[in-house]
């Protein structure tokens, strides 16, 4: 195929791929499913009896303040609101959003109504509390003679009313409580279980509903909880992406125009970058790739790394073959470093690493096969090559000194790794975090997190049934498990298969006992046959070390029972990911160095050059990892920035590793390429979304370190015996 035919084919192919965005628009996600690989959660999604849904939380207060639950008229108003929420009879309060559908809602007031109904008393029709509280139920809803409905009402009251509540009829055994009084609280929670046709959904629609109903009623309603925090993080990330994309294009265009001194070359480079991004996103979307908002961070990064070719072809003193070799080595060494992210246990890292790797490859393809001849045709040859005389300066000490400085940054950096949790995706001063803190201080439900245990069992096997019950009892004794205290007894919050006196198998007990307050049928099935059960265990949501210990202990307990199973949940998985990263981050940096050496040696066939590139990349990686800790804390989120920084180091060092004395034009090309990239990364560092902000900071530092180190390496070359004539022609091929 002739060069012009190849160029046309590549451009047409990229344009067609970009056009796929019209047929496959991108709707990035932000939830635990696109961040973690949680085997327990995946089993529950694939084999769970109930359709997958997500638990969202609404918080209710009255506009005038004061008590809600002890005010009968307010209780009945909220019960009416619950009914309208579900049946849509009142447009001012109905749910009218197709993005999510309501599977069910759990409220303490509906649970109270069921509890009173079990005693033939009607809360909806009561005119005063005495109508339902008398004659007195001395032991309340937590007593030994309580009905199933009353026990569920007690559980709901504990979970969805603040901890300082006077529980009244819910449990007279509590200090200050009485069976003749209703629970007294000035706020309550609703649990809303929503479903989505896709993996996760746009939780912001619940905020929209809450704002609408707050305006149309006497209640202040807010959507709260972890899932809503993910929704807020998604909204922040999308706003940031809109904020930086257009300015990035203008800033990059300005830097290219000034650095290249040619607006046509700048325009061609900028157009190529935009084409690469659109083609990649369109092709991946058409192939069913599931984007997360974290993947959006890759877009400005791809823009920042795409400018090397323009400067080296158009502004350096090197001929076509030299530039080709340099850019090829730079591309494969960068990919070698970034590709390690594809083996990460964190799904978000793999996804972002893949998007960046593909973008870097496409940048190189476009530069090498489409824009190369255009760049060379815009090069001003004799004047600038005459000015590009080779320097006789040789500073051999600069390279080892630079390596020592980078190593010292790694040594003095603070130790430790942050746990991967939702707080890392929100700005430190965000009001959502303050509200979550307030919520956690008041509600058991908010201060805890769920650890999921999935074990393989047979639904009709009595031995498996007894083994699961024993496992649940043992889980309840673990110190990490939160218990509901009534003053008379403690009930561990372990929800799985009920201990039924009537049945002796898992299938029988599940059908006989029905559902719990929070969860429906906990069995897992394939083709109607029970394959396992899921057990929900509430643990302290603010103690990551305890979560790791709990996970390890449960794994050992499952082994002791001779069962097969896995432990999952946001905090256990996130804490273990951080622990794994802490234990392997040095190995990861060294492994990236080895990968860079191997591909550099494959391309250059000169061990000393490949070794210099690899050693420099490792030094940059260690320094950037240290800077991550200095800037605010290293973690799983910063790991990819470290690998990409090593890739940048390999990129710039490959430019400086050839036996070519530095010239003014070479130095200019190197520094203008670096400054163009830094201008984009600095803009990324100005965003509010923490992963994007941290990536921008670290990549700006890594580019700066890399270009300085590359300059030091270029100064090691000994003076050449002969100089290339200024009129030497460029290679045609």
pLDDT at 670: 85
CA atoms of 165 and 70, how far apart (whole Å): 11
pLDDT at 660: 61
So where are the chain's domains? 3-26+231-424+575-714, 50-230, 458-562
CA atoms of 716 and 342, how far apart (whole Å): 35
Asked if the model's pLDDT at residue 260 lies above 50, the reply is yes
Mean pLDDT taken over the chain = 84
% pLDDT > 90, the chain: 29
Model confidence at 318, pLDDT cuts 50, 70, 90, reads: confident
DSSP state for residue 663 in the 8-state scheme: B
pLDDT at 459: 87
Q: How many CB atoms lie within 10 A of CB 50?
A: 16
Lowest-pLDDT range of 50-54, 135-139, 232-236, 702-706: 50-54
pLDDT at 703: 92
Asked if the model's pLDDT at residue 571 lies above 60, the reply is yes
Of 410, 395, 407, 409, the C-alpha closest to 712 is 395
pLDDT at 390: 47
pLDDT at 303: 85
Residue 118 CB burial class (10 angstroms; 0-12, 13-18, ≥19): middle
The continuous run of DSSP H or E covering 49 comes out as: none
pLDDT at 15: 93
Asked if the model's pLDDT at residue 99 lies above 80, the reply is no
The residue ranking higher by pLDDT, 440 or 360, is: 360
pLDDT at 389: 47
pLDDT at 730: 44
Q: What is the length of the chain? A: 733
User: Apex CA 607: angle with CA 604 and CA 608, to 5°?
Assistant: 105
CA atoms of 641 and 693, how far apart (whole Å): 11
User: Apex CA 442: angle with CA 440 and CA 445, to 5°?
Assistant: 60
pLDDT at 723: 40
% pLDDT > 70, the chain: 91
Of 202, 224, 276, 181, the C-alpha closest to 57 is 224
Mean pLDDT, to the nearest integer, of 201-229?
Answer: 86
CA atoms of 156 and 670, how far apart (whole Å): 65
- Where would I find the H helices in 477-606? 506-513, 544-560, 570-604
Q: Using an 8 Å Cβ cutoff, are 188 and 158 in contact?
A: no
pTM of the model: 0.81
pLDDT at 661: 65
pLDDT at 721: 47
CA atoms of 602 and 354, how far apart (whole Å): 23
pLDDT at 489: 59
Asked if the model's pLDDT at residue 470 lies above 60, the reply is yes
Asked if the model's pLDDT at residue 732 lies above 80, the reply is no
Model confidence at 729, pLDDT cuts 50, 70, 90, reads: very low
Q: How many CB atoms lie within 10 A of CB 173?
A: 16
Model confidence at 384, pLDDT cuts 50, 70, 90, reads: very low
Note the pLDDT tens digit of each residue in 484-539.
765 555 678 888 888 766 678 888 887 765 555 677 778 888 888 999 999 989 88
Model confidence at 453, pLDDT cuts 50, 70, 90, reads: very high
């Amino acid at each position: 195929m002739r060069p012009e035919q190849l160029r046309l084919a590549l451009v047409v192919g990229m344009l067609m791929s970009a056009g796929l965005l019209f047929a496959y628009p991108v709707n990035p996600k932000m939830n635990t499913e696109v961040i973690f690989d949680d085997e327990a959660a995946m089993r529950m999604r694939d084999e769970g009896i109930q359709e997958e849904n997500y638990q969202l939380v609404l918080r209710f207060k009255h506009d005038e303040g004061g008590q809600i639950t002890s005010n009968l008229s307010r209780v009945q108003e909220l019960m009416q609101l619950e009914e309208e929420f579900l049946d849509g009879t009142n447009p001012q309060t109905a749910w009218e959003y197709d993005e999510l559908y309501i599977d069910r809602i759990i409220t303490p007031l509906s649970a109270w109504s069921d509890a009173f109904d079990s005693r033939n008393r009607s809360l909806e029709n009561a005119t005063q509390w005495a109508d339902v509280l008398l004659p007195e139920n001395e032991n309340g809803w937590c007593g030994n003679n309580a009905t199933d409905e009353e026990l569920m009402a007690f559980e709901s009251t504990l979970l969805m009313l603040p901890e300082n509540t006077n529980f009244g009829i819910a449990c007279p055994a509590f200090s200050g409580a009485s069976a003749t009084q209703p629970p007294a609280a000035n706020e309550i929670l609703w649990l809303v279980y929503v479903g989505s046709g896709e993996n996760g959904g746009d939780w912001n629609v619940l905020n929209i509903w809450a704002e609408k109903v707050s305006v149309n009623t006497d209640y202040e309603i807010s959507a709260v909880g972890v899932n809503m925090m993910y929704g807020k993080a998604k909204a922040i990330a999308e706003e940031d992406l809109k904020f930086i994309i257009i300015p990035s294009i203008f800033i990059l265009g300005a830097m290219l125009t000034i650095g290249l001194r040619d607006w046509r070359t700048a325009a061609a480079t900028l157009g190529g970058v935009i084409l690469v991004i659109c083609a990649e996103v369109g092709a991946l979307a058409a192939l069913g790739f599931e984007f997360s908002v974290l993947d959006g961070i890759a877009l400005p990064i791809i823009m920042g790394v795409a400018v090397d070719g323009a400067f080296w072809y158009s502004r350096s003193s090197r001929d076509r073959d030299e530039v080709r070799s340099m850019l090829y080595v730079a591309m494969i060494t960068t990919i070698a470093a970034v590709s390690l992210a594809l083996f990460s246990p964190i799904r978000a890292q793999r996804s972002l690493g893949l998007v960046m790797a593909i973008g870097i490859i496409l940048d190189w393809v476009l530069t090498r096969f489409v824009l190369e001849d255009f760049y060379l045709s815009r090069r001003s040859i004799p004047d600038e090559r005459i000015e590009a005389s080779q320097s006789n300066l040789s500073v051999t000490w600069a390279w080892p000194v630079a390596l020592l400085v980078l190593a010292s940054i790694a040594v003095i950096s603070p130790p430790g790794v942050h746990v991967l949790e939702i707080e890392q995706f929100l700005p430190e001063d965000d009001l959502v975090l303050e509200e979550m803190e307030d919520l956690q201080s008041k509600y058991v439900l908010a201060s805890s997190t769920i650890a999921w245990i999935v074990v393989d069992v047979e639904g009709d096997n009595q031995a498996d049934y007894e083994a699961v019950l024993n496992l649940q009892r043992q889980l309840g004794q673990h110190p990490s498990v939160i218990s509901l205290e009534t003053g008379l007894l403690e009930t561990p919050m372990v929800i799985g298969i009920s201990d039924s006196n009537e049945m002796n198998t898992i299938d029988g007990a599940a059908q006989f006992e029905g559902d719990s307050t929070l969860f429906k049928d906990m069995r897992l099935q394939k083709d109607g046959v029970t394959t396992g059960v899921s057990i929900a265990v509430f643990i302290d949501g603010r103690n990551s070390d305890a979560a790791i210990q709990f996970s390890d202990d449960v794994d050992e307990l499952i082994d002791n029972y001779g069962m097969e199973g896995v432990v999952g949940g946001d905090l256990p998985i996130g804490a273990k990911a951080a622990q794994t990263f802490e234990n392997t981050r040095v190995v990861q940096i060294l492994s990236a160095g080895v990968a860079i050496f191997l591909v550099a040696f494959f391309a250059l066939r000169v061990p000393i050059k490949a070794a210099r590139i690899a050693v420099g990349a490792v030094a940059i990686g260690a320094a950037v990892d240290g800077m991550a800790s200095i800037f605010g804390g290293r973690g799983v989120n910063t790991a990819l920035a470290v690998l990409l920084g090593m890739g940048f180091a390999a990129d710039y060092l490959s430019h400086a590793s050839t036996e070519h004395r530095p010239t003014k034009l070479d130095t200019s090309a190197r520094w203008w390429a670096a400054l163009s990239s830094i201008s984009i990364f600095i803009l990324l560092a100005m965003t509010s979304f923490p992963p994007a902000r941290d990536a921008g900071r670290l990549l700006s530092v890594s580019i700066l370190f890399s270009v300085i180190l590359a300059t030091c390496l270029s100064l090691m070359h000994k003076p050449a015996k002969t100089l290339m004539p200024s009129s030497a022609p460029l290679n045609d091929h």
